[in-house]
Every structure is written in C-alpha cells, then in structure tokens.
Amino acid sequence: NLWKTSLAVVLRLFLEGKWKHFPVMMCPSLYHSLHMSCCQRKSIAPVKKTDFVSVSSDESLKDTGKRLEDLYSSEEKSAILQVLNTASVNELGAFTFLRGRKSINIVKHREKHGPFQDLESLMEVPLFQYKSTVKVCDSILHPESKEKKKEKKILENSLGKFVRLGIERKKLKAAKSIVSIVFGNERIAWAHLDNTVMVLDWRQENNFKLMKETYMPAMYLKMISSVVSKIPEADFYILEKRTFSLQQTTLFPVTLHFHIVEAMLYSLLNKTFAQDGQHRVLSMNRNVVGKHFDLMLGTMRTSGMALVQQFLSDFPKQEKPWVSFPLENLVRYRSMMETDGRKIKEELWDSLLQAVAFYELFMFDPQS
C-alpha cells in the first residue's frame, strides 16, 4: 500500500510538471525513466497518420468529399457528355486514358443503357473508377495538356522496353497469332491467341522447377526443350519480364533462375534467327500489363484471377466479348481456373492477360 501511494504521488507530480522536484535518491531508476520520457515527449513532434500510411489514390480522392459533378462547370460537363455520347470507338481512343478497352466499354454501355445523363454514371462502366474517370474528363477538356504529353512519353518508353529494336510495328500488326508465356519458380504457362483475340491454346506445365542445388546448363536445357516442344507455332512469342532488386541478396537464386530460363527461351524460340536475323521473341514488363488492367496497388501487382474469370463468364453472353474461347474448350478452361488454395495458378491467368494487353496496346491502339 505504501508503494502504491508513493507511485500515485510521483505520477501526480509528473502530470503536473513538478516531477523534477522529486527527490532523486529515493528512486534513481524511476527518476531516470520519467526524465527520459519527458524529454522524448518534448523533442519528438507528433506524427500524422498520413505520414506513414499509404492510402489508395481512389480512396484519397473520395475522401475529399467532392463529387464528379462538383469538379466541372455546367459548360464543361456538357462538353464532356457530348463527346461521351456521340464519339465512336476510334474517336474516343484518340483521348488520353481512353485507349484500348475503355473506349469500347463506353460505346457498349451507351448502346445498352442509352446516353450518359451525368458524369457519375461513367463510373458504372467497367474499368472506370473515381480517379480514372477524373483523368478521362480532364483529357477530353484539355486534349493538348501536359498530361497527354506525359502519357504519350510513358507509352513510348513502355514500347521501347517492350519491343526489341529491329522489329517494325507493321510486322507486329501483320502477325496472325502470338503466344504469351509466363513462368515462375515451379510452373510455366502459355496462351496462344490469334489476331481476333480468340484463344487457340491455353495451358500450364507443372514439371518446371527452380533447381535449388545446382544450375547445370544441361538440366535446364532438357527441361526447357521439353516445354518448348509443346508450345504451338506463332508469329511472335511474348515473355513476361520481371525485375528484381539487386540489394535483396536472398533473391539471387530466383533471379538467376529467371535469367537462365529467359535466355534459353529466347534461343530456342528464335528458330530462324540464324537465317534471317529477325527476332520473334519479345519481352513485356509485368507492370505494364498490371497498369493496363488496373491491377497495380502502389508498386505491387495484384492477382488477375477475378478478371480472367470474368472473361470466361462474359464470353457466351456478349456479342463482342473481351476474349473469345472455342465452345468445345470452354468447360475445360473454366475447370482450369479452379484452385483449392494450395495450387495457385498465377502463371496461367497472367499468360492470358499478357496476350490481351499486347493486342490492345500494340495492335488495336488507335494511337499506334
């Protein structure tokens, strides 16, 4: 009881700012703790939550409390709605942030539900969220803005990283089919699509593992040659390009594995390179695909499984689906998407997403 009473007195002195008058010799350790606590409280400024919590851009915009209708004048809203309700797919695609699938989705929504009555209804269209809708409206009002130039530069840089020098754009556009290939530590998957975005072949090989003990070239050659023998013929082969931090030394074995596999796929799939010197294998940055389908969360890419499942469910219902599948294979493809949580098939659906992104960015893009 005496101890509790003494502690209560000390705490009261501390709270009243009179703790320095407390006799030091009575309890040196307690005096030191209180002294350090007080000094730290005075020297350290309070940290706001926003200093260390990353909030998604869409949520941060919503938190401002501003509706889309409040961001523009009546004249600006009329001009935006005029474009959205009258422009064709190609005309919409001429605006920044409306390239590819977004312009198609706008026209489809317009045909099904009628003209847009307000800007808020634009967010009912697939692929449109608050932030992307604001960017679209701004690009319609200011087509020659700095934002448009920046977007064009980003696209050109993405193309430069994506397409090897020496491959002309017209050759890409003339391609009748492509094979999109994505590989990981344990699996490799590919999607074979023609230029109508019809899936001709789509599968995954599980006998494809990271060699942890040794990196014998002969073993890699045997494993990858077996996979390449099953990959169908196409005009171009698109490999997913991943980047790894050089500072994470624990990832060195994984990085080495990816570089070995990538190099061997380049060599084995470029079958006619020695004769004609023409590259048929390209690399596509993983995040380029993620940004195209709004799968990025900061610098991290989220799973595309739900989007691929949407492709499969939408196909029989829509007149012009995002991706087409042979009816005789539709049930098999749907069963391929099933997972029990132990066998994640990211490579499988990523291979399909990469193929679709390739066509939309570099085949069907009206700006290309």
Mean pLDDT of 341-353: 82
Q: What are phi and psi of 322, to 5 degrees?
A: -65, -45
pLDDT band at 341 (very low <50, low <70, confident <90, very high): low
Res. 48: pLDDT tops 50: no
- What's the distance, CA 170 to chain centroid? 27
Domain ranges across the chain? 68-143, 152-363
Quick check: helix, strand or coil at residue 213?
coil
What pLDDT score was predicted for residue 229? Answer: 95
C-alpha Rg value of the chain to the nearest Å: 29
Give the DSSP letter of residue 233: P
- Both tokens of 360, joined, read 């939309």
In CATH, the architecture of 152-363 is 2-Layer Sandwich (3.30)
DSSP track, 13-74:
HHHTT-GGGS-GGG-HHHHHHHHHHHHHHHHSPPPPGGGT-PPPHHHHHHTTT--GGGSS-H
* 224 Cβ contact list (under 8 Å, min separation 6): 261, 264, 265, 268
Quick check: helix, strand or coil at residue 203?
strand
Cβ-count burial 221-260 (b if 16+ within 10 Å, e if not) = eebbeebbeebeebebbbbbbbeeeeeeeeeeeebebbeb
Res. 40: pLDDT tops 70: no
Q: Which of 32-41, 88-97, 276-285 has the lowest mean pLDDT?
A: 32-41
Res. 19: pLDDT tops 50: no
* CATH hierarchy code of domain 68-143: 1.10.150.280
With CA atoms as reference, report the closest residue to 282 among 210, 186, 363, 207.
363
What pLDDT score was predicted for residue 3? Answer: 47
Alpha-carbon distance of 321 to 312, in angstroms, equals 9
With CA atoms as reference, report the closest residue to 352 among 314, 317, 322, 313.
322
State pTM to two decimals. 0.58
State the residue for tokens 């940290």. 47
Give the DSSP letter of residue 303: P
Pairing of strands 188-194, 281-285: unpaired
Alpha-carbon distance of 314 to 41, in angstroms, equals 58
Which position has the higher pLDDT, 210 or 267?
267
- Both tokens of 366, joined, read 């009206």
pLDDT band at 50 (very low <50, low <70, confident <90, very high): very low
Q: What are phi and psi of 245, to 5 degrees?
A: -75, 130
Percentage of the residues of the chain whose pLDDT score is greater than 70? 70
Mean pLDDT of 171-196: 92
